[in-house]
């Protein structure tokens, strides 16, 4: 295995409209065209003021709710330990040049089916991090039942397209730990929605420093799509995203029993990737 944990990957898992540099090189006929619509207004999020300010200075700033950033959430030593432990496991090819490791139940979001399958819990290395998260008031009671590690590399043109995370199974707070390099999370509104009274697409750049923790909740979780663009991956980047259960799977919810089983398994912190 190479120092970056790669396994000499020369194939990819892209499907449909998704591509990465590996399949683009293989399919020479693929012509990449910029998908940027005409009217795009670029804003930069300021974590201190919680305002999104126009990068070109041509529009008024607006409050951007639902982002919480914790700088230096992990130390360099912890980052090294986490990455070397991940690199001892296989990384599975995923779409758009990403590789992934999953610790969670098997889910069919279309059919709304959850199966425990081989879910053996979150990995041991996350136990202390989860306890640390829970001490932050805005993450009180945060009990993740899924951890997804993603590996991005500029050589593969890794990216993740703008999307909203599911909210049938996953709860209010999405928590990500950003490792190995700085990057930018780009937030954009779903078509038809407008922000700051602007006629066009509004994009808000949220800078993610190496070793920070990011929480998306509220409007940033449900109204704004999030993406990592290929051009914002400058070096290898690894992130771990932790997801909690929605109300349907918590006490009082229709699937509380299944939720309790998932919580019990996750919190054993004896997991291997599924």
Ligand X SMILES: O=C(O)CCC(=O)C(=O)O
Contact set with ligand X (CB under 6 A): 148, 150, 160, 165, 176, 185, 226, 228, 239, 241
CB of 210 to ligand X, least distance (A): 12
Which residue, 23 or 206, has its beta carbon nearer to ligand X? Answer: 206
CB of 202 to ligand X, least distance (A): 19
Which residue, 151 or 198, has its beta carbon nearer to ligand X? Answer: 151
Residue spans of alpha helices (H) in the chain: 21-26, 76-87, 127-134, 218-222, 256-266
Which residue, 104 or 271, has its beta carbon nearer to ligand X? Answer: 104
In a 10 Å sphere around its CB, with 0-12 CB exposed, 13-18 middle and 19+ buried, how is residue 125 labelled?
Answer: middle
CB of 95 to ligand X, least distance (A): 11
**In this structure, are residues 106 and 152 in contact, taking their beta carbons and an 8 Å threshold?**
no
CB of 235 to ligand X, least distance (A): 14
Partners of 273 in the β-ladder = none
- Whole-angstrom distance, CA of residue 205 vs CA of residue 227: 10
Which residue, 151 or 201, has its beta carbon nearer to ligand X? Answer: 151
- Whole-angstrom distance, CA of residue 88 vs CA of residue 86: 5
Q: Are strands 213-216 and 170-179 parallel, antiparallel or unpaired?
A: antiparallel
CB of 154 to ligand X, least distance (A): 14
CB of 178 to ligand X, least distance (A): 7
- Whole-angstrom distance, CA of residue 184 vs CA of residue 152: 13
Residue closest to ligand X when measured from CB atoms: 239
Query: Would you mind telling me the total number of residues written for the chain in this entry?
Result: 274
Other beta carbons within 10 angstroms of residue 176's beta carbon come to 20
Which residue, 148 or 250, has its beta carbon nearer to ligand X? Answer: 148
- Using alpha carbons, select from 239, 266, 233, 199 the residue that is nearest to residue 38: 199
Which residue, 195 or 243, has its beta carbon nearer to ligand X? Answer: 243
- Using alpha carbons, select from 168, 186, 55, 177 the residue that is nearest to residue 125: 177
CB of 197 to ligand X, least distance (A): 28
- Whole-angstrom distance, CA of residue 50 vs CA of residue 137: 18
Residue 173 sits at φ, ψ, to 5 deg, of -110, 125
Which residue, 100 or 132, has its beta carbon nearer to ligand X? Answer: 100
Give the DSSP letter of residue 91: P
């Amino acid at each position: 295995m190479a120092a970056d944990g790669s396994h000499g990957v020369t194939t990819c898992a892209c499907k449909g409209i998704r591509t990465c540099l590996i399949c683009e090189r293989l399919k020479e006929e693929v012509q990449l065209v910029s998908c940027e619509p005409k009217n795009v207004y670029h804003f930069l999020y300021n974590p201190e003021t919680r305002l999104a300010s126009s990068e070109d200075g041509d529009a008024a700033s607006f409050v951007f709710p639902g982002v919480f950033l914790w700088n230096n959430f992990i130390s360099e030593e912890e980052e090294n330990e986490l990455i070397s432990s991940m690199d001892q496991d296989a990384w599975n090819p995923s779409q758009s040049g990403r590789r992934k490791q999953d610790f969670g139940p098997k889910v069919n979001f279309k059919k709304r089916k959850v199966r425990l399958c081989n879910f053996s819990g979150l990995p041991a290395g996350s136990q202390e991090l989860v306890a640390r998260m829970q001490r932050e008031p805005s993450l009180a009671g945060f009990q993740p039942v899924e951890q997804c590690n993603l590996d991005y590399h500029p050589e593969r043109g890794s990216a993740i397209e703008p999307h909203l995370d599911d909210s049938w199974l996953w709860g209010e707070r999405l928590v990500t730990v950003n490792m190995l390099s700085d990057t930018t999370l780009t937030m954009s509104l779903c078509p038809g929605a407008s922000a700051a009274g602007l006629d066009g697409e509004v994009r808000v750049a949220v800078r993610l420093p190496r070793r920070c923790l990011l929480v998306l909740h509220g409007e940033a979780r449900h109204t704004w799509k999030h993406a990592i663009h290929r051009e914002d991956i400058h070096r290898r980047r690894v992130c771990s995203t932790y997801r909690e259960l929605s109300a349907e799977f918590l006490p009082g919810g229709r699937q509380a029993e299944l939720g309790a089983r998932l919580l019990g398994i996750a919190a054993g912190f004896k997991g291997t990737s599924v």
